[in-house]
Amino acid sequence: MLKIYKIKGMHCASCASIIERTLKKTEGVTEVEVSYGTESAKLDFDDAKIQLADIEKLVEPLGYSLVVPKVESEVAGQVTASDDKSDKLKDLSDQRSKLMVALPIATFSVLVMVYEILSEFGLVSAMSESVSEFIHHLMPIFATYILFVVGKPYLLGFYRFLRYGTANMDTLIGLGTSVAFLYSFLVTALEGILSPYVNTMVTYYDATIVVITFIALGKYLETRSKLKTGDAIESLLNLQAKTALVLRDGKEVEVPINLVVHGDQIIIKPGSKIPVDGEIIEGTSFIDEALVTGESIPVEKTVGALVVAGTINTNSTFTFKATKVGSETLLAGIIKMVQEAQGSRAPIQALADKISSVFVPIVLVIAFLTLGTWLFLGSETFGFSQALSYGLTSFVAILVIACPCALGLATPTAIIVGVGKGAKEGILIKDAATLEKLHSVNTIIVDKTGTITKGKPELVGLANYSTENDNEIIATLAALEKKSEHPIAFAVTEYAKENKLAEKIVEGFEIIKGKGLKGKINGTEYYAGNIKLMEELKLPFTAKQIATETAQGKTPVILATADNVLATVFVADAIKPEAIAAVKDLHKLGIKVTMLTGDNEQTAKAIAKEVGIDEVMAEVLPQDKLDYVKKLQSEGQVVAMAGDGVNDAPALAQADIGIAMGTGTDVAIETAGITLLHGDISKLVKAVNLSKMTIRTVKQNLFWAFVYNIIGIPLAAGIFFPFFGWLLSPVFAGFAMAFSSVSVVSNSLRLKTKKL
C-alpha cells in the first residue's frame, strides 16, 4: 500500500531524481515516486525485505532526510500539516536571516564592480591604491561567507554532479562560483608567487557574491510562495467536528471524534457539524452539503436519509446512527485524494535544468581543453610562463562568462514579473511551475456553483397572474417567507430588502410540512409553496404552466389565496454576467470547456447551453470529478480545473492546473495553483494569456543568455587570438556576464507593459 512521507533537504527537481533512482535500485522497494513540488515521496515496500528505518538510512548519505511520523494521523495517514508548516517556516526564517547579511554585501560588490568597469573605460578616475588594497583584502572575507554559508546548497549541487552525474541549475551555480572563488583565493593568497604569471589584482570574488545572492533571493521567494502547499490538508482536517454528542446508556455524552464507533446514536443540533457518516433515525432538518455537492442550497433530510461527515445542520435537531467512522468517511477519502494528487509528479521539468544537464559538461570540457591547448601549443610560441598566463586567463574567462547569472535569471525574472502582473489583474499564482504549465492547457473543466454561477440562490423571475403590481406580490411573499426556515426563503427576503419593499405584518403563521406555509396579512389568508400545496387547495394550476422555467433549473414558489393563484416567483443560482464572454474567449484560444457539477442534470444542461459550454456531466461526486480529470489526462489532454468548493479539492489537486475562485472555500484556494480574486471567471482568459506571454519571455531570455555564451566562450578560449590577437580578459568576461543579466532583466520587465 502506497504511503506518503515528507523528505527534507531537497533543493531542485534533480534532488527528487537522485532519491528516486537510488530507492528504485533497492531490493524490497516495489514502488517509489518522489515529488520536489510537495517535498514528499510515495513509497510502497515489502516489510519482509526492508524496513522504513533502512530506507531512512539510504537517503541520509545523499544529503536528505526521510521524515518518519511518530504517530500516523487516523485520517491523513501521514505527518500532520502543522508539523510540516512549522519546518517550512523555520527554513524560510533561516533563508531570510542569511539574505539580510548577503544583500548588503552583494550591493557593495556590484557598486565596486561597476566602478572598476567604468574606470577601465576612463569614465571615472581609478581608485586610490589604499582603497583598492583595502577592497582587495575585504572581498575574500565577504566571498567566503557567501559561498560557504549562503551558497552551501549550490556547493552540494556541484558535489552531486561529481558523485551522481546529474546536473542542474544548482550545479552550474556551484561550479561557476567555486572556480571564480578558488582562482581568486589562490591569486590573493599566493600573490607573490603568481604575480610573474598572472595579474593578481584581477579577482572574481564579486562574481561569486552577486550570483549566489541573487539566485538565493529567487529561492527564498520560491520557498515563501510554496509555504501554503500543505494548507489544503490542514484546512480539510479543520472541516471535521472535533467531538460528537453520543447517546450512551440513555444519556447524552460528548466524546472525541476518534471514540465514535459503528452503531453509535449521535445527536446533531442546529449549526453543528456532522462528525461521521451515518443514517438519520429520528427527526428532520435541512443540511448544507456544499462539501459534497458544491450546491449552495441546503437539502432537506428525513428519517432514512444518509448524512456525511463535515456537512452542516442548518435548522433542526435530529439523531442519526454512525455507519462510517475514522478513515472510512467521505471527508477522509477527500483528504486522501488531495494528498495523493499533490504528491504526484508534475510532467514538466524546468527548461533551464534540461539545458544545464548538457551545458555543464560541455563548458567543463571546453575550459580544460583550452587550458591544455594553451600549455601544449602556446609553450612553443610564447614560452611556458606566458602560455600559462594565457591559459589561466582563458580558463577562468570561459567559466566566468559561462557562469549562469543570465541563465539563472532567465526564468525567475520573467516569472516574478509575470506573477506580479497577474496579482495586479486579480490573478494570484502560487508558483512558477503553475504559470509555466498553464500556457499548454487545452481543456478546462469548470464547476457550476460559484464558478459559472454566483453560488447563492437569487430571485431571478416572476410570473404575475393578478392585478397587483410585482413589488406588492414580492412584498407579500417576503413577509410570509421571513418567518420560514427554508433556504429558498432567504432569496425572496433578500430581494425585498435590497429593493426596500414595504414590510407587512403576518398573523397566524403556519408551516405546512413538505408543501409550504400560510399566514394572514391585512385579514387575507395567503399560501406560499409548491405544486402539491396548490393541488391540496384544489386551485387550477399545474406543473405544465411553469415547465419551461423548471427545465432551466429554476425553483418555483407559488403565491396564492384560498381562491386564486396570484403569482409564481422563481429562485435559482444566477449565472455570472461575465461567464458567457469568458467561455467564448476560451474557445478562441482553442480550449475546450467542460462543466462538472453535483447539481441535477436538467439544471446543468440548461446552464451549459446558455453559457456555451461544450460538454456537461451532472450529479457527480468528488471521486467522479477526480476520475474524469484522470481520464482526460490519460488521453493526453493538459487539463485545468476551475472550482470553488471542498468537493472540488481532489480534482483541483489532480489537474495539471488547479484554478480556484477567490470567493470559494479555503480548501479549494489552498489546493489550487491559481486563485481568481472576486470569483471573476473572465480572469481565466487573462491567466492563460499571461502564461503564454511569460513563457515566450522565458524562451527569449534563455536565447539571449546563450547568445552571449556562443559568442563569448570561443572568444574567451582564444580561437580568434592567432588571427586578430583577440583574447577575452576575465574583466570583460565579467562585464559580458553582467550585461547579459541586464538584458535578460530588461526583457522580462517588458511584460509589465503588455495587455492581457
pLDDT digits (tens, 9 = 90+) for 445-498: 998 877 888 877 889 899 999 888 999 999 999 999 888 877 788 889 989 988
Q: Please report which confidence band the pLDDT of residue 188 belongs to, taking 50, 70 and 90 as the band edges.
A: confident
> What was the pLDDT predicted at 354?
58
Q: What is the pLDDT of residues 555-601, one digit of tens each?
A: 899 999 999 999 999 998 888 888 999 999 999 999 999 998 877 78
Amino acid at 743: S
**What is residue 146's DSSP assignment?**
I
Amino acid at residue number 361: P
- CB-neighbour burial class of residue 617 (10 A; exposed 0-12, middle 13-18, buried 19+): middle
Question: Residues for the chain: how many in total?
Answer: 756
C-alpha cell read off for 586: 476560451
Residues 61 and 206: their CA atoms lie apart, in Å, by 33
Pure H helices in 523-647: 531-536, 547-551, 579-588, 601-611, 622-634
Tell me what the mean pLDDT of segment 147-154 comes to.
Answer: 88
- Decide which of 351 and 200 is more confident: 200
Q: Does 447 participate in catalysis according to the annotation? A: yes
Say if residue 70's pLDDT is above 90.
no
Confidence grade of residue 100 (pLDDT, cut at 50, 70, 90): very high
2.70.150.10, 1.10.40.30, 3.60.15.10, 3.20.20.110: CATH of 241-274+277-324: 2.70.150.10
Give dist(CA 584, CA 59) in Å, integer.
Answer: 51
Which residues make beta-bridge pairs with 45? Answer: 29
**Whole-angstrom Cα distance, residue 324 to residue 304?**
15
Q: Which distant-in-sequence residues (6+ apart) come within 8 Å of 104 by Cβ?
A: none
- What share of the chain in percent tops pLDDT 90? 21
Strand bridging mode 674-676 / 657-661: parallel
57 pLDDT above the threshold of 90: no
- CATH number for 3-68 (one of 1.10.579.10, 3.30.70.20, 3.40.190.10, 3.30.70.100): it is 3.30.70.100
Name the pLDDT band for 318 (thresholds 50, 70, 90).
Answer: very high
The most confident of the ranges 165-179, 509-523, 667-681 is 509-523
| Model confidence at 86: pLDDT above 80 | no
Q: What crossing angle do the helices spanning 351-373 and 683-717 adopt, rounded to 10°? A: 10
- What confidence score (pLDDT) does residue 737 get? 63
* Helix (H), strand (E), coil (C) string for 360-405: HHHHHHHHHHHHHHHHHHHHHHHCHHHHHHHHHHHHHHHHHHCCCH
Do 696 and 366 form a contact (C-beta atoms < 8 A)? no
Domain 466-563, second-level architecture: 3-Layer(aba) Sandwich (3.40)
Q: What is the average pLDDT across 280-288?
A: 91
Inter-residue contact 316 to 269 (CB < 8 Å): no
Q: How far apart are CA 426 and CA 548, in angstroms?
A: 38
Helix ranges restricted to H, 402-513: 405-424, 432-438, 470-481, 487-498
The rounded distance, in Å, linking the Cα atoms of 115 and 127 is: 9
Marked catalytic residue, from 231, 264, 277, 447? 447
> How many beta carbons lie within 10 A of that of residue 316, not counting itself?
15
CATH match of 427-452+576-689 with 3.40.50.1000: yes
pLDDT the model gives residue 590 = 93
d(C-alpha 99, C-alpha 252), whole Å: 57
Q: How far apart are CA 464 and CA 48, in angstroms?
A: 76
Query: Cell numbers at residue 349, please?
Result: 521539468
Give residue 474's pLDDT: 93
